[in-house]
Structure 1
Amino acid sequence: MDMSWMQQNLSRRRVLTGATGLAAGALLPPEAVLAATSTYTNPVIWQDFADVDVIRVGDTYYASASTMHYSPGAPVLRSYDLVHWEIAGHSVPVLDFGAKYDLNGARGYVRGIWASSLAYRPSNRTFYWLGQIDFARTYVYTATAVEGPWSRLTTIGTPYYDAGLLVDTDDSLYVAYGNTTISVAQLSPDGRNQVRTQQVFTAPPSVGTLEGSRFYKINGQYYIFLTRPANGQYVLKSSGGPFGPYTMRQVLLDLRGPIPGGGVPHQGGLVQTQSGAWYYLAFVDAYPGGRMPALAPVTWTSDGWPVVQLVDGAWGTSYPSPAVPPPPRQVTPMTGVDTFDGTTLKPRWEWNHNPDDTKWSVGSGLTLRTATVTNDLYWARNTLTHRIQGPSSTATVELDHSAMRDGDRAGLALLRDSSAWIGVKRDGGVSRVVMVTGLTMDTNWNTTGTGYEVASAPVSGGRVRLRATADIRPGAPRPGTFSYSTDGTTFTRLGPAFSMGNDWRFFMGYRFALFNHATQALGGAVRVTRFELSTP
């Protein structure tokens, strides 16, 4: 590994303009340079946050990600060092884009929030989220704080596919978007309308598909950062303005990634630290868990092209930590215990499609009243999901099932297009703890299997603890296992190991999911008094 770039970054940094406003090649004063004192390990987040857009506002970093059919959508993550992240909120409070997102006569699986963009506009101190829905139109949401409230600013008739939003130095708003044919749109000063759009580049046949636009102005030049799914990254550069002309250069191709068995780091975005260093936050395909963010330093050639810094010819499993000021506080861990106190769900949670808000509540636990009569979990409303922590983790829930009614099904699932669960079935006035597998969808996301019971045991009383352990390391055997406890201490394995699927076409990774649905009539309820996500 060439250490010269590290030594340079740990002493004085020559930087390109960006947030710093320094001229290219300028030397930072010694007091502005902070030495990195540790290393970090990739992936920096071993949870499913794909298509990340990353920005810095002052001393705080923010990232946004795709969430498809989960609601609320477009989570906003926050960090003070680019390594430790917390979930701060969601840019899209509800997927109010049609009945299919309510599981009302149709389903929105693998639709919804695709690659989208997060930006900050200093002139009005406002965050902007921009993304297209269903290839039909583009939505813009704004907030003055990432925790919200977020509100819809406008709807634009042009669907900006895989969009990157740029707030230019003169406060103009531009959007780069498209698949293979890349276009740039200019928005009105208030961000509500499209003023102009123009095709600026077409990917050569030798490269093929390019998408996932991220749009930057650095040192007076315009850059559109593009991914070749799922193994490459390219960049376009223009010195003639946001509408080009652009020239292209390869950033990476078939680069070994930091997750054994995982894919090539790609997509994501560039961000500059307070001291002038640049980083690339990409994602790594690592199914069955999903797409995991990984971070690498970036330097620049003398003629203004980004270069990812490698370790032994690969994206490093570790690098020196970014040199940043001490954080004002520790970020909230993505693992740990939730007792569902307070009046709202914590931002770690997302519903499978929009919930029926009349059928759930929090405060001294999470109450899930049956919201759907169905024998198909994929049609059941108010299924609440939590990302799995890699490389392996365990979810344990305390379930009060005393208010279930005959025909009700409630429990803890490993949820994706092939699913399994452990939970309680109540039939004929009798409750049993069961393991169910064989819940499946086809590639059009229609249900092909509603599941079948493979193991069961009697349960007495009104409470049971359910546990699911998921090993999401890419490659075989990708096991998920289930167990239960009636005393809170001794857990009994139930059923065989479930092999989690690793096909990429569902895009989202497996999640732990809490559910309660009826098969006969509404009226029953369960209460989850505690959820714990732990790692070995």
Structure 2
Amino acid sequence: MSCSHQEFSRRRALAAGAGLAAGAVLPLAGASRAAGVPGRGPVPAAAGSFTNPVVWQDFADIDVIRVGDTYYASASTMHYSPGAPVLRSYDLVNWEVAGHSVPVLDFGAKYDLNGARGYVRGIWASSLAYRPSNRTFYWLGQIDFARSYLYTATAVEGPWTRLATISTPYYDAGLLVDSDDSLYVAYGNTTISVAQLSPDGRSQVRTQEVFRTPSSVGTLEGARFYKINGQYYIFLTRPANGQYILKSSSGPFGPYTMRQVLLDLRGPIPGGGVPHQGGLVRTQSGAWYYLAFVDAYPGGRVPALAPITWTADGWPVVQLVNGAWGTTYPTPAVPPPPRQVTPMTGVDTFDGTTLKPRWEWNHNPDNTKWSVNNGLTLRTATVTHDLYWARNTLTHRIQGPTSTATVLLDHTAMRDGDRAGLALLRDSSAWIGLKRDNGTTRLVMVNGLTMDTNWNTTHTGTEVAGAPAPSGRVWLRANADIRPGAPRSATFSYSTDGTTFTRLGPAFTLGNDWRFFMGYRYALFNHATQALGGAVRVTRFELSTP
């Protein structure tokens, strides 16, 4: 089923918070995700405990699978490129960004900021699966309510290539690799359908409505599709405060019966929303977990983990702590990891000649205007006074609950009219950086960059503070408190030696309107207002927490 973006927004406005959905498949023993027996007892004891959220960064519409001893999760990225990040973990608690399933958003000129913009479109809820028969990962998602795309890779790091374009837009797709290797997709909003794909995944063989949500429940979407102990399950979210599950004993096309999994459940983040819209996964020892996300604006939608048990008649039950999704739980009992995952925070000196996978561009970049060679060079790619139109703005998710980004930037190659710096980027933005005009470079803090709810720019920003710029290079810093609720404050500062920082400008209040969906990001930018040709070089980026 497809619906208009306006209708989608109208439905979402009925709930506090937000959550686009994603489809899912479940790896069980080894690399299979079609067969298995639910663990009926308590979760096995493990040494220590973990704290939610397991990742305090913006990874929403989660699909989670296990392949052997490794867990993978996919998430929405909207207009950011590359899209559909794949996270990797060995224990469901510690995660790293391993790659992206969609290398470029080649779905129209608007994703290149070419005459139009793709804000809040692009990669919505989608599905990540693994097919043991050919040892291949599959990503499936619809774009712009128009059609669906299937990408494959033999390793999550890539290369990912487009396998198929399917004319049916599988809204909030959940891809199932059945035990006989057949491919099925559960999808839809309120009306839930199941499609069967051809054995090669390149076309649709059949599609059929399997469930219509009762009006007493409202909207259901965000399908995840599983086969567990011979039963078919479609895991669905009620945005943004509920989770339901459908079960069929008669095959993937139903009929299905429905049961509520959670509704208005208190979450683990003070001031945050109800955990919902994620996926189920079974550990090697047979324990089950639910990896959901929590609305936690202005930071976005962040992953939280809880153990699952099963009733005798085969329905999942979230294990609560004092009637709520726990802030802490026992650590999952899994084999020792083969290595430590790459931290989500720390220093990046842009070593080597490629960007690390934790970086994503605001829309597709102009690849002729940037390079990495033991340092990041950003050449101006757009002549504009509007940062929201500027190509080659490189973004990094903010770490919660509070974090600081520090950038070392060489501005010697800037040209008159150029603007470069470090932004807090969302539909309401601010930045610290450099303006070069009439041969003089100044440090400035600019705020008041805004978009309306149709994602048109309403203000390009106002300079509210300034200072002389040191020659050569400068350290720029942004600190952000993304805990839900007041004061949602951010500040900017600079340094000439990397040690002593001077505050520049007033505090900036981070916006928390859920309709933009994505959380704030730290963003590196360099654009022209007069003519192309200038450049800046970033030799160090550090993301730190108190």
Is 1:526 equivalent to 2:536 in the alignment? Answer: yes
Tell me: CA distance 1:489–1:243, structure 2 relative to 1, closer, same or farther (3 Å).
same
Following superposition, the deviation at residue 23 of structure 1 comes to 5.2
Q: Indicate the residue corresponding to 2:12 in structure 1.
A: none
Q: 1:277 aligns with which of 273, 280, 287?
A: 287
Choose the corresponding residue for 1:479, options 489, 507, 510.
489
Q: Which runs of 4+ in 1 moved over 3 A?
A: 20-28
Residue number in structure 2 paired with 1:3: none
Q: Distance in 1 between matches of 2:290 and 2:274?
A: 14
Deviation of 1:275 after TM superposition, in Å, equals 0.3
Q: 1:26 to 1:480 in 2, by over 3 A?
A: closer
Aligned to 1:106: 116
Change (3 A) 1:24 1:509: closer
Aligned to 1:214, the other structure's residue is in SS state strand
User: In the alignment, which of 189, 192, 199 is matched to residue 189 of structure 1?
Assistant: 199
Percent identity over paired residues? 87
How many residues get paired? 517
User: Is the CA contact (8 Å cut-off) linking 2:28 and 2:283 kept in structure 1?
Assistant: no
Q: Give the C-alpha shift of residue 462 in structure 1.
A: 1.1
AA aligned to 1:399 is: L
CA shift digits 1:445-479 (9 cap, x unpaired): 00000001000000131110000000000001100
- Residue 439 of structure 1 corresponds to 449
Distance verdict in 2 for CA 1:461–1:128, change over 3 Å: same
Give the one of 309, 320, 332 matched to 1:299. Answer: 309
Superposed CA RMSD: 1.5
Q: CA shift at 1:489, angstroms? A: 1.2
CA shift in 2, pair 1:35/1:409, >3 Å? same
TM-score by length of 2: 0.93
Work out whether 1:254 is the aligned partner of 2:264. yes
SS of equivalent residue, structure 1 residue 100:
helix
Cα drift, residue 354 of structure 1: 0.1
Deviation of 1:364 after TM superposition, in Å, equals 2.1
Deviation at 1:482, TM superposition (A): 0.1
After superposition, the Cα gap between the structure-2 partners of 1:254 and 1:170, relative to the gap in structure 1 and judged at 3 Å, is: same
Quickly say closer, same or farther: Cα 1:25–1:96, change in 2 above 3 A: closer
Q: 2:40–2:311: 8 Å Cα contact kept in structure 1? A: no
Give 1:75's aligned amino acid.
Answer: P
Indicate yes or no: 2:103 matched with 1:93: yes
Q: What is the CA distance between 1:487 and its match in structure 2?
A: 1.6
Structure 1 residue 56 corresponds to structure 2 residue 66:
yes
- Matched with 1:390 is 400
Which residue of structure 1 aligns with residue 16 of structure 2?
none
Distance 1:294 1:398 in 2: 33
Deviation at 1:19, TM superposition (A): 2.7
Match of 1:125 among 135, 141, 144: 135
1:370 matches 2:380? yes
TM-score of the pair, normalised by structure 1: 0.95
Structure 1: how far apart are the matches of 2:264 and 2:494? 43
Q: Give yes or no for contact 1:262–1:474 (8 Å, CA) kept in 2.
A: yes
Match of 2:353 in 1: 343
Cα pair distance change 1:25/1:152, threshold 3 Å: closer
Per the TM alignment, residue 158 of structure 1 is displaced from its structure 2 partner at its CA by 0.1
Structure 1 residues 26 and 74: alpha-carbon distance in aligned structure 2, compared to 1, 3 A threshold: closer
Structure 1 residue corresponding to 2:175, chosen from 165, 182, 193: 165
Q: 3-state DSSP class of the match of 1:82?
A: coil
Cα-to-partner distance string for 1:96-147 (whole Å, 9 max, x where unaligned): 0000000000000000000000000000000000000000000000000000
Residues 226-241 of structure 1 correspond to what in structure 2 (within 5 A)?
A: 226-241=236-251
Deviation of 1:398 after TM superposition, in Å, equals 0.3
Decide whether the 8 Å contact of 2:28 with 2:66 is kept in 1: no
1:287 is matched with which residue? 297
Equivalences for 1:10-29 in 2 at 5 Å? 18-19=28-29
1:489 pairs, out of 493, 499, 505, with: 499
Unaligned runs of 5+ residues in structure 2 are 1-25
- 2: CA distance, partners of 1:17 / 1:526: 45
1:229-257, Cα deviation, whole Å (9 max, x unpaired): 00000000000000000000000000000
Partner of 2:164: 154
Alignment check: 8 A CA contact 1:408 1:524 kept: yes
Amino acid at match of 1:157: S
Q: Deviation string for 1:2-50 (max 9, x for gaps)?
A: xxxxxxxxxxxxxx9943766567999xxxx974001000000000000
Asked whether the equivalents of residues 337 and 533 of structure 1 are also in contact (C-alpha less than 8 Å), the reply is: yes
Corresponding position: 1:403 with 2:406:
no
Identify the match of residue 312 of structure 1 among 295, 303, 322.
322
Give the secondary structure class of the aligned counterpart of 1:50: coil
Would the aligned equivalents of 1:42 and 1:316 in 2 still touch at CA under 8 Å?
yes
Does the CA-based 8 Å contact 2:40-2:309 persist in structure 1? Answer: no
**2:249 matches 1:218:** no
Is it true that 1:265 corresponds to 2:275 in the alignment? yes
> Offset of 1:303 from its aligned partner?
0.2
Distance in 1 between the 2:308 and 2:39 partners?
A: 15
